Amino acid sequence: MKERKTGLQMTRRDWLRFMGVSGFAAGLAACAPPGVAPADDAADAEVLVDRWTTGLVDPDISGTFRIISWEGEGEIDKFIPFIEGFFEERYPNMEVEIESGVPWGDYWTKLPTQIAGGDPPDLAWQHQSRGWVYPDKGWSHSMQQYVESHPPDGWPDDWEPKMIEMSTYKGELHSLPYGWVTWGLFVNREITDSIQEYPFPDDWTWQDLREIAKEATSGEGMDKIYGCRIPIFDKTLWAVSMTWGADLFDAERTRGNFDDPIVEEAAKYLWDLRWTDGSSPTPGDEQAMGLGGEFLFASGRIGMHMGISDIAARLDNAIGDKFPWGIAPIPTGPNGRFGYEGGAQWMIPAGSKFPELAYELTRYVLSNEDILPTLGIEGSLYPPRLSLAEYGLPKGWEEKIPNAKHALLTLGLEQPTYYQYFTKYQEWSALWSKWMDPIFVEGKDNIKEALVGLNNETNELLGAA
């Protein structure tokens, strides 16, 4: 039995019965790329030995292969047929258990607890913010020996280099990226067209955004239309600060730079959007509306929503024909535009019972040119292989939103610089919450004092005090 934990328990046999009744099974089989077998009972499957097997794993191996992810329904679904197909064809005696939809905040305590407790999953989703954290703490299994003996397709020249940097710690690869994204502004043209001609110019600035947002804001209470929605966290502050000429840390990530006047100016700018202009909803506003993120934009109450490119497909489905919309690039400034976000990876947790098998699955799914286009299109996620970047946006977008590729891909990659995480990021993120939540969540205005406090404790943590 192969099962997937999603809150609602469904065995593999139940899932197959559901797929057959829904009429989807036949379509899935017809659309399956080469190397992925139609769903069938494991006992009837013929074991396949092909270029995706390494010879490091016994074809008759049995046991339960466990996977964990924060991605839930509507996000992880695109991976399931390929994961299931891999095992059904090559290792039919293995059971597969997928625990998906673990809340983001809980994921980063649950996975380390499992690893520390000696009961880790065999494969785990990993965000780039932990790309160096986990290897530094001994929580991840190096992939270096596997990559050297059985490299992924296109390795390394066809792989997005910044994502490989984020996955490499002290010269050893510890994870493989499954995709990457850029930032953009998703624009409700019903609100903004009378203020700013579409498409927005490539050289528009953060100050332009503020002025457009103020003019686009109208109404009160539950009828209020907000000119923009800008999520505020460390990476947002970094993007604005870098545009104006200052990083949040030194280049080596050994000292904070939060007491820089430019960083303070950027923080005040973001605070003003919420608390001075009222043009971007506060967390309290969103709680009152019962909506957040891209779903608030899809409701028609936001003029410009700052988000990463992988929300494009979800927005397309959620908005439908409710209003015309488009995409603008991240604003630029004196120091350039910083729209590259990065992405996420698959990693093998330390203590995995089946590390070789985990690598085989990772290599099969994440480097396979017969699979990556599907993952890219369905997830609005640029595949990790550069030659397949065109599959990072939904089908038909060349006609629907002609400037989408230019705004998200071309301009999103304008600067090679990215927000570089560091080995103590997991501990540091608690300091950010301690000092910045009162400012950006509660609306307190002692911005300079808070930034100095954050800087002092950052330097203590990083050993620079």
Q: What's the whole-number mean pLDDT along residues 34-55? A: 62
Given this model, what pLDDT does residue 211 score?
99
The pLDDT tens digits for 410-465 are: 998 888 789 999 999 999 999 999 999 999 999 999 999 999 999 999 999 999 76
Given this model, what pLDDT does residue 74 score?
83
The pLDDT tens digits for 31-43 are: 333 333 333 444 4
The whole-chain average pLDDT of the chain stands at 90
Instruction: Give the amino acid at 16.
Output: L
Given this model, what pLDDT does residue 177 score?
97
Given this model, what pLDDT does residue 80 score?
98
The pLDDT tens digits for 377-387 are: 998 899 999 99
Q: What's the whole-number mean pLDDT along residues 163-182? A: 96
Residue 86: pLDDT above 70? Answer: yes
Instruction: Give the amino acid at 52.
Output: W
Q: What's the whole-number mean pLDDT along residues 253-267? A: 98
- Other CB atoms within a 10 A radius of the CB of residue 163 amount to 24
Q: What's the whole-number mean pLDDT along residues 286-292? A: 92
Q: Which distant-in-sequence residues (6+ apart) come within 8 Å of 428 by Cβ?
A: 422, 458, 461, 462
* pTM for the model: 0.86
When mean pLDDT is compared across 21-25, 123-127, 309-313, the lowest value belongs to: 21-25
- DSSP string of 140-202, one letter each residue: B---HHHHHHSPPTTTTTTB-HHHHHHHEETTEE-EEEEEEEEEEEEEEHHHHTTTS-SSPPT
Are 333 and 205 in contact by the 8 Å Cβ rule? The answer is: yes
Are 398 and 405 in contact by the 8 Å Cβ rule? The answer is: yes
The pLDDT tens digits for 203-241 are: 999 999 999 999 999 999 999 999 999 999 999 999 999
Are 167 and 156 in contact by the 8 Å Cβ rule? The answer is: no
Question: Tokens standing for 152?
Answer: 């992924």
The pLDDT tens digits for 98-139 are: 999 999 999 999 999 999 999 999 999 999 999 999 999 999
Q: What are phi and psi of 451, to 5 degrees?
A: -65, -40
Give residue 362's pLDDT band: very low, low, confident or very high (50, 70, 90). Answer: very high
Give residue 7's pLDDT band: very low, low, confident or very high (50, 70, 90). Answer: very low
Domains and CATH numbers, the chain: 3-181+342-399 (3.40.190.10), 183-341+410-462 (3.40.190.10)
The pLDDT tens digits for 262-287 are: 999 999 999 999 999 999 999 999 99
Q: What's the whole-number mean pLDDT along residues 391-402? A: 88
- Other CB atoms within a 10 A radius of the CB of residue 57 amount to 18
Residue 30: pLDDT above 90? Answer: no
Give residue 399's pLDDT band: very low, low, confident or very high (50, 70, 90). Answer: confident
Question: Tokens standing for 288?
Answer: 């009152």
Euclidean distance between CA atoms 10 and 2, whole angstroms: 9
Q: What percent of the chain has pLDDT over 70?
A: 90
Residue 202: pLDDT above 80? Answer: yes
Euclidean distance between CA atoms 432 and 450, whole angstroms: 10
Helix (H) or strand (E) holding 64: strand 63-68
Residue 27: pLDDT above 60? Answer: no
Residue 26: pLDDT above 50? Answer: no
Given this model, what pLDDT does residue 187 score?
99
Residue 8: pLDDT above 70? Answer: no
Euclidean distance between CA atoms 107 and 111, whole angstroms: 6
Residue 24: pLDDT above 50? Answer: no
